[in-house]
Structure 1
Amino acid sequence: MVADGPEIPRRTGSAFSERARAVLDALEHLVGGLGTALLAFVAMAWGTAVALLCVVGVGFLVAPSVPHAVRAVASRERARLSRWGPEIIGPGPAPSRVRDALADTGVRRELCWVFVHGTVGLAFSALAITLPISSVQDITYPLWWRFLPPPDTELTGVSWRVDSDSDALLVTILGLGLAAVFVLLAPAMARLQAWPGRRLLAATSDTDLSLRVAELSATRAAALDAHATELRRIERSLHDGAQNRLVGVTVLLGATRRALDRDPAGALVMLERAQDAAEQALAELRTVVRGILPPVLDDRGLAGALAGLAANCGVPCQVDVDVPGRCAASVEATAYFVTAEALTNVSRHSRARRAQVTVRRQGAHLRLRIEDDGVGGADAGGGSGIAGIRGRIEAHDGHLTLTSPPGGPTTLDVELPCGS
């Protein structure tokens, strides 16, 4: 029982951290949804104005701009939703002719989404954003209510007049209640806000999937390039390391055989050198084999393999793995190599004091998060290895999200399909 004591606070802290991160992510989603809701409202207003002008004949001149405006707003929403979940593949450019646009299933679904998101979605987004703002205002109300003119002390969102500190503390209690409601409901509100977009903006059966085909072709090409690069790395490792050492072993064994008769003591020295060279060659071969598919994955599973990486990391690193069962070997290997490269970057570039690796299996996806409290500023094109990580992930049709503002922290979110 004594050994379990420190584990309880650690689990509690981890649960609190996950809840706080979920709330912050939901708040970011809600703010982004409010932005696209405002754009949808503008597109809806423009479409309504053009429809009214068509009654007098003037609107037909600008009618082709409506489907293009709707498609532009819908594309922004697709991009926003794709950053926070499964990718939504959109159609190509909107038809130029109004008749063709009205006959297009995708345009009609986008028009429906614009009216839903520009009305109900806008009101819901505004309400959802108002909740945390009101809670902060009410919680801090005792600090500044005295500076308000007497008539304005009633503008607190409560039904009572505030004339004393006790009345102001009641406002604070209300604010804490609003904050608790937001913490509990924020993820659900973010999902509810995104639901119309995921329902109406997803590709239909008659959507032109040429973009998806091109994306898969590019992913396949990137996978082939990564495979060729890996083969070249293995060839260089074998040629420059193990092969040279094995050649040295052969030379030493030949010299030992010739020296056995005339210089037995020298032959013994050369035999020891040959043994050392053979052991070094064996170590080189083991290193190369581990680079192809780490045997630790078979021996200890993904959790044990990642724990080994964390133990060898130059920064104190915690590992939290909750993956029931086993995933495909290729998926586990990808997660292992991505973690290894990310922790190498943390040790070399981040100047972090701690790092965290979290792995969860949610449905048919394996989710991996690597975060550190370093200086941030990681760039996929800056030679930090992120481009290689992205290529390895996309080869499995996975998704990577890198968040690394200047000053930190850095968070690497990876999603890999691993079957049901």
Structure 2
Amino acid sequence: MDRNERLAVRRRALGFLAVESVAGLVSLGLFVVGIVIASLLILIVGWLAVPVYVRVLRWWAGQARARAGRFTGTPIVGRYPPIPQRPGLDDLLRLLTAPTTRRDFAWLAIHAIAAPTAGLFLVALPVGALNSLAIPFYWWMLPADEPVSSIYPVTSWWGAAPMPLVAIGYVVLGWWSIPLIARGVAALATRLLAPRREVELSERVSALTASRAAALDAHAAELRRIERDLHDGAQNRLVAVVMMLGLAERSLRVAPEQALPQLLRAQDAASDALSELRTLVHDIYPPVLDELGLGGAVSALAGRSPVPCVLDVERLRRAPAAVEAAAYFVVAEALTNVAKHSGAKHVRVTIATRDDDTIATRDGDQAAWLVIDVLDDGIGGAVETAGSGLAGIRRRVSAFEGSLTVDSPVDGPTRLEVELPCGF
């Protein structure tokens, strides 16, 4: 490593420590706020503040990961369980005691002390060097009973003479130690904020358990819907067809001239039953997905939407069939909700494939996410309740370990964002 490279390394270390020393003061403030919220947990206001504080804590820990990753050149991945939209007391308790929350708060406490201390050390070294250089020029002006205090009291010219060497010692100490201190502060974030293997496995098991339960619920709900549609639609029409054919058979024996109209009615009823069966099959898996892909299938949905719809699928790539089917039904349900409840005049649907740089295979393949964004200019105030369209979307998305975010303030606009994993 040549001289310019060594200088560049130390400049980066100085800049990193300067930023971290200021960030440590922010961590100290967040740590104090956390202690205050913990003391208020005996009141309702304390529990209401937990989701907000955890979101801020996660964001701040993410900023620390990003800074440490840029300094070391190695990205630090952060994974968190989702925060429920309307958490109950059990959800808040799980959120407060989650391993990720405890980990982030432990880092916050250590960072609040270590980073400002490193910043003080960063300031103390050059100040000590300058002071040591200046001591030979002013030590004799101080009273004999209050000598200059450096690494030792200076009370004579013989004591002041080595001070330039002490200043050089400060410079050498800073030149050698500042990169080490910077790496230590970065290692603090790497060590404490990177997800541990056992925590990852535990969270993965929990996520798989939840997604399995959601998949079973979604499957059971789909079976109930199919049974209901068959019973109320095609089955009734087929029963009517059988009855009409029976009447036509009797008419052929008694009054043949009346048989033809009855056969025609039976044919119409059979055609209606066949149409309903085709619709039912389409609702299970739309054939248009195989023919046109998700972009073409959603284009058909946008064209049939009662609310004028703008569709953007320019950054969309093909995904597994099950994921595309789930995305299709998510968009269909979202557009139905917009038409029924929002009072919107326009709606925009954006579907894109987003690569995940934090997850990759040994061959270099990156994981990808299918991101669906539905934005309308309606009245807002959408609330997810049991049996609602939003609950159905969440159940379908959870079966794939995806996420659903709904932002719907009163007076609008309403934004629905869904992320579905596409694999590698």
The one of 1, 5, 29 aligned to 1:42: 29
Residues 260 and 38 of structure 1: is their aligned pair in 2 closer, same or farther, counting only changes over 3 Å?
farther
Residue number in structure 2 paired with 1:346: 338
Residues 383 and 258 of structure 1: is their aligned pair in 2 closer, same or farther, counting only changes over 3 Å?
closer
Residue number in structure 1 paired with 2:255: 263
**Kept after mapping to 1: 8 A contact 2:307/2:347:** yes
Residues 357 and 105 of structure 1: is their aligned pair in 2 closer, same or farther, counting only changes over 3 Å?
closer
SS in 1 for 2:423: coil
Alpha-carbon distance between aligned partners in 1 of 2:399 and 2:191, rounded to the nearest angstrom: 27
Q: Determine if the alignment matches structure 1 residue 78 to structure 2 residue 58.
A: yes
Alpha-carbon distance between aligned partners in 2 of 1:387 and 1:205, rounded to the nearest angstrom: 32
SS in 2 for 1:273: helix
Q: Determine if the alignment matches structure 1 residue 272 to structure 2 residue 264.
A: yes
Deviation by residue 1:174-208 (Cα, 9 ceiling, x = unmatched): xxxxxxxxxxxxxxxxxxxxxx9899534212437
Deviation by residue 1:309-340 (Cα, 9 ceiling, x = unmatched): 11111110011112454211111111111111
SS in 2 for 1:280: helix
Residue number in structure 2 paired with 1:285: 277
Q: Determine if the alignment matches structure 1 residue 401 to structure 2 residue 423.
A: no
Residue 341 of structure 1 aligns to which amino acid in structure 2? E
TM-score under structure 2 length normalisation: 0.57
Residue number in structure 2 paired with 1:240: 232
The one of 312, 322, 336 aligned to 2:304: 312
Deviation by residue 1:273-320 (Cα, 9 ceiling, x = unmatched): 110010010011011111111111112211111111111111100111
**Kept after mapping to 1: 8 A contact 2:380/2:413:** yes
SS in 2 for 1:371: strand
Deviation by residue 1:340-392 (Cα, 9 ceiling, x = unmatched): 11111100111111000001111111111001001111111276411111111
Quote the offset at 1:41 in angstroms.
2.6
Residue 300 of structure 1 aligns to which amino acid in structure 2? L
Residue number in structure 2 paired with 1:369: 373
**Kept after mapping to 2: 8 A contact 1:220/1:395:** yes
Residue 268 of structure 2 aligns to which amino acid in structure 1? D
Alpha-carbon distance between aligned partners in 2 of 1:81 and 1:230, rounded to the nearest angstrom: 40
Alpha-carbon distance between aligned partners in 1 of 2:324 and 2:189, rounded to the nearest angstrom: 32
Q: Determine if the alignment matches structure 1 residue 253 to structure 2 residue 253.
A: no
Deviation by residue 1:218-261 (Cα, 9 ceiling, x = unmatched): 33212211210110110111111111111111221222123224
Q: Determine if the alignment matches structure 1 residue 413 to structure 2 residue 393.
A: no
**Kept after mapping to 2: 8 A contact 1:39/1:73:** no
Deviation by residue 1:12-38 (Cα, 9 ceiling, x = unmatched): xxxxxxxxxxxxxxxxxxxxxxxx987
Residue number in structure 1 paired with 2:221: 229
Residues 315 and 401 of structure 1: is their aligned pair in 2 closer, same or farther, counting only changes over 3 Å?
same
Residues 323 and 43 of structure 1: is their aligned pair in 2 closer, same or farther, counting only changes over 3 Å?
closer
Larger mean CA deviation between 239-248 and 107-116 belongs to 107-116
Superposed CA RMSD: 3.7
Larger Rg: 2
Residue number in structure 2 paired with 1:146: none
SS in 2 for 1:402: strand
Quote the offset at 1:94 in angstroms.
8.9
Alpha-carbon distance between aligned partners in 2 of 1:232 and 1:269, rounded to the nearest angstrom: 36
Deviation by residue 1:129-162 (Cα, 9 ceiling, x = unmatched): xxxxxxxxxxxxxxxxxxxxxxxxxxxxxxxxxx
Alpha-carbon distance between aligned partners in 2 of 1:198 and 1:405, rounded to the nearest angstrom: 38
Residue number in structure 2 paired with 1:388: 392
Aligned length: 276
Structure 1 portions without partners, runs of 5+:
1-35, 48-71, 96-103, 121-195
Identity across the alignment (%): 49
Larger mean CA deviation between 321-330 and 107-116 belongs to 107-116
Alpha-carbon distance between aligned partners in 2 of 1:378 and 1:330, rounded to the nearest angstrom: 28
**Kept after mapping to 2: 8 A contact 1:88/1:202:** no
SS in 2 for 1:207: helix
Alpha-carbon distance between aligned partners in 1 of 2:297 and 2:117, rounded to the nearest angstrom: 50
Residues 380 and 264 of structure 1: is their aligned pair in 2 closer, same or farther, counting only changes over 3 Å?
same
Residue number in structure 1 paired with 2:39: none
Alpha-carbon distance between aligned partners in 2 of 1:321 and 1:239, rounded to the nearest angstrom: 37
The one of 286, 294, 305 aligned to 1:302: 294
Quote the offset at 1:412 in angstroms.
0.7
Residue 267 of structure 2 aligns to which amino acid in structure 1? Q
Mapping of 1:10-409 within 5 angstroms? 40-42=27-29, 76-78=56-58, 87-89=79-81, 93=97, 109=107, 111=109, 201-207=193-199, 209-363=201-355, 364-381=368-385, 384-409=388-413
**Kept after mapping to 1: 8 A contact 2:378/2:412:** yes
Residues 46 and 77 of structure 1: is their aligned pair in 2 closer, same or farther, counting only changes over 3 Å?
closer
Residue number in structure 2 paired with 1:162: none
Residue 312 of structure 2 aligns to which amino acid in structure 1? D
